Structure 1
C-alpha cells in the first residue's frame, strides 16, 4: 500500500511498459532490496538510477521494500553508527555479542529516537513509536519510551506573522534540546532524530528552513544522527527532487513548494464528507490530520488535468 508517494500517479503507461521489460522482471524475481547475493548488474543499476538523484553530499544508496522498511533500516543504521562511535570505531566484542542475545547491556543499549508531534513514519512495530499522527494507528500496540517534541504550528499568512513564527521555531527547538537532555539524564541517550519536511499524514504542517537548520545543528552538536523522512516529499513534488534541498543545510541529512497543497475544514465530519463525495465523482483527494484535505497531483499533470479536477471539486463542494 502507498499513500501519497507515487510521483507519477497510478497506472502510468510508461511505468507499466517499463515493468514488463526484461530488466525489471529480473529485479522483481531477484528481490532488488536484498543486499546479499545481488545480481551482477545490481551496483551499476543503482548508480544509473538512484545514484543520479542522490541528495547532495551522499554517495551510498540501498533500495528497500517500502517507506516503513526504509525508515526502520535508517534507524537501525543510526543505532549501529552511534554505538560504533561509543566504542571508538571498534566492532562489538564478545561481551556485546553475548549480552545482546539476552537483551541486556552493553549489547542491547538503552538508546532512543526523538520524533515530533503529528509525525508519521510508518506502521510497523518499531516505527509506531515515532509515529504520532493518529491514535488508531498506535492503540493496543506496545511502544518504546522515546521522546516526542513539538513541531511548528505557524500563524498564517506567513508574511504577516514573521516574528511570531520565529518565536514558534525557537520554542520547538528549545523543546528538542530539553528532550535530548532529559533522556540523556535517564540513561537513554537520543541516538537519532527523525522528521518529515512536511507533516503530511499528520495534517500538512510545514517547518521553516531556519527550523530545520537549527534542528540539524542540535543533532550535530550532540552527535545525533539526523534522519529526514522523504517518503512523501521525495520525487519532485515540492519543486526540487528532495524537499530538504530548500533548507540550505550546511551538511547533508540522513536523507516555492511545488504541487503540495492542502486546506483545512471547520470540522472533521465536513472534511470526510467531501472526501467521500469527491471519490464518488471520480476525484481522489486525501484526508490528513483531524480536518485537513490534501491535493497531491502527479508530476505529469497539465492544465487540462487541473480543469477536470477543479470541475469535479466544484461539483463535489456544491453537493455537500
Structure 2
C-alpha cells in the first residue's frame, strides 16, 4: 500500500482536474479506461482556481442519505445467506456495495445509501472511490507492487528507501527518523513490544554482547534466561490488538480475551476525568497524579519487570477516555526515570483525527516517545522510532515475509 500512497500523491493534482472535467457517469469507469501513459502524463498537470470551483472533488458523491428498504434488504439478505455458508457473518453490520459507494457515503445491495461516520473502523481516510486513488491504481508502480509483492526483508525493490522517505517518513512524528513496517495495528504493537524486550535485554547485558549458550538453549524451551520474564505495562480499558502480546495489553472487553492464554503483565488505571473539565480541574489533577503514582509503583514493584509502557492518546475502543497533556508528560517523565520505554499507540488516533497529524503532538513533549505505532488510516502499519538502539543487534530477530 505504500506504493499506492506515493503514486496517489504524485497524481492528485491532475486527478482533481480530470474528475472535474468528466461527466458523472464517465467518472465511475475512469480507472479502467485510463492508460499508464495517461496517468503518467496527468501527473505533470496543475489545477487552476477556476477548475477548483467548477465541480466537487467527488462528482459522484450523493447529496444525502437515501433509505429505500429495511436494512438488510432482500438482496442483502440473499448475499449474507450465501456468505454465511463459507464465512462467519455474525459480526456483520451491513453488506456493502463498494462500486456504488462514493465519498462519505456507503451503499448496499438494495439501493440504500448511508452517511458513513464509521469509515471502516477508522481505516478509510479519504472517502470511497477516491478519484486520486482510482487513477493511482492504473499506474505502473501500482501494477508492479500488486503483481510482484516483495519479501521486503530479503528482496526490497530498488526504490524502497525513496518510497519510505516520500511516504511514511515524510509524516514521521517529531524526533523519529526510522520506521519498521507491519501488516496491521495489532502486528505493529506486537513488533514494538518485541523491540522493547530486545532493547531491554541489550541494556542488561551492557551492550551488544553475544548470547550465552544457556540463553540459546533455554530460549528453545520457553525458559529463562533465553525467554526472560519481562512485561509490557498497559492501562485498564485500553485496546492494543488481538494477537497474543497485544491481546495481553488489551483491557477493553472480555469478549476479546476469553479462553485465550495471556502473559502475566501489569495494568494501571487510566484517569477517569470528570466533566465539564473547567469545573473539576483540581479533582482531575489529583486523579491523574494518582494514576501516575500507580504506574510508578508497578514499574518498580511488579514481579515481571516492564520493559515498556504502552498507551493510547485517547482510549478509543475502550470508551472514549481522555487525559490531559500533563498526565502524558508525567508518564514520559516516570518512564524515563526508570529506564522504561514509552510506546504511544496511534493506530486509532493517528493521521489527522484530532486536528494534528499525530494525537500525541498535542502534548508538546520535549522528550518524545520511544516508539509510535500506526495503522488504519495510514493504509499501512508499523512503528516509528529514533533511537538506533531500538534496531535489533542481529538480522532476522525482527522479521516477517512482507514486513
Shorter-chain TM range is 0.7 to 0.9
1:174 aligns with 2:293: yes
Deviation at 1:39, TM superposition (A): 1.0
Q: Secondary structure at the match of 1:192?
A: strand
Give the alignment partner of residue 60 of structure 1, picking from 178, 192, 209: 178
Is the 1:33–1:63 Cα contact (8 Å) retained in structure 2? no
Alignment partners' CA distance in 2, 1:247 and 1:30 = 41
Give the alignment partner of residue 340 of structure 2, picking from 196, 221, 224: 224
1:233 aligns with 2:349: yes
Alignment partners' CA distance in 2, 1:112 and 1:76 = 10
Give the alignment partner of residue 117 of structure 1, picking from 214, 223, 236: 236
CA 1:19–1:84 in structure 2 vs 1: closer, same or farther (change >3 Å)?
A: farther
Deviation at 1:31, TM superposition (A): 4.2
Higher deviation after alignment, 46-55 or 94-103: 94-103
Runs of 5+ consecutive residues of structure 1 not aligned to the other structure: 256-296, 298-320
Q: Which residue of 1 aligns with 2:319?
A: 203
Q: Which residue of 2 aligns with 1:162?
A: 281
Matches within 5 A, 1:27-46: 27-31=145-149, 34-46=152-164
Q: Which residue of 2 aligns with 1:69?
A: 187
Deviation at 1:178, TM superposition (A): 1.6
Q: Which residue of 2 aligns with 1:194?
A: 310
CA 1:241–1:33 in structure 2 vs 1: closer, same or farther (change >3 Å)?
A: farther
Per-residue Cα deviation, 1:10-56 (whole angstroms, up to 9, x for no partner): 44232233234222333344546832221111111101111111111
CA 1:181–1:47 in structure 2 vs 1: closer, same or farther (change >3 Å)?
A: same
Q: Which residue of 2 aligns with 1:90?
A: 208
Alignment partners' CA distance in 2, 1:89 and 1:66 = 31
Alignment partners' CA distance in 2, 1:17 and 1:32 = 23
Runs of 5+ consecutive residues of structure 2 not aligned to the other structure: 1-118, 378-403
1:247 aligns with 2:363: yes
Alignment partners' CA distance in 1, 2:292 and 2:168 = 32
Alignment partners' CA distance in 1, 2:321 and 2:155 = 41
Alignment partners' CA distance in 1, 2:250 and 2:200 = 22
Deviation at 1:181, TM superposition (A): 2.2
1:6 aligns with 2:124: yes
Is the 1:33–1:64 Cα contact (8 Å) retained in structure 2? no
Q: Secondary structure at the match of 2:227?
A: coil
CA 1:211–1:100 in structure 2 vs 1: closer, same or farther (change >3 Å)?
A: same
Alignment partners' CA distance in 2, 1:9 and 1:112 = 39
Q: Secondary structure at the match of 1:62?
A: strand
CA 1:125–1:19 in structure 2 vs 1: closer, same or farther (change >3 Å)?
A: farther
- The alignment covers a number of residue pairs equal to 253
Deviation at 1:222, TM superposition (A): 0.9
Q: Secondary structure at the match of 1:61?
A: strand
Is the 1:118–1:199 Cα contact (8 Å) retained in structure 2? yes
Is the 1:173–1:215 Cα contact (8 Å) retained in structure 2? yes
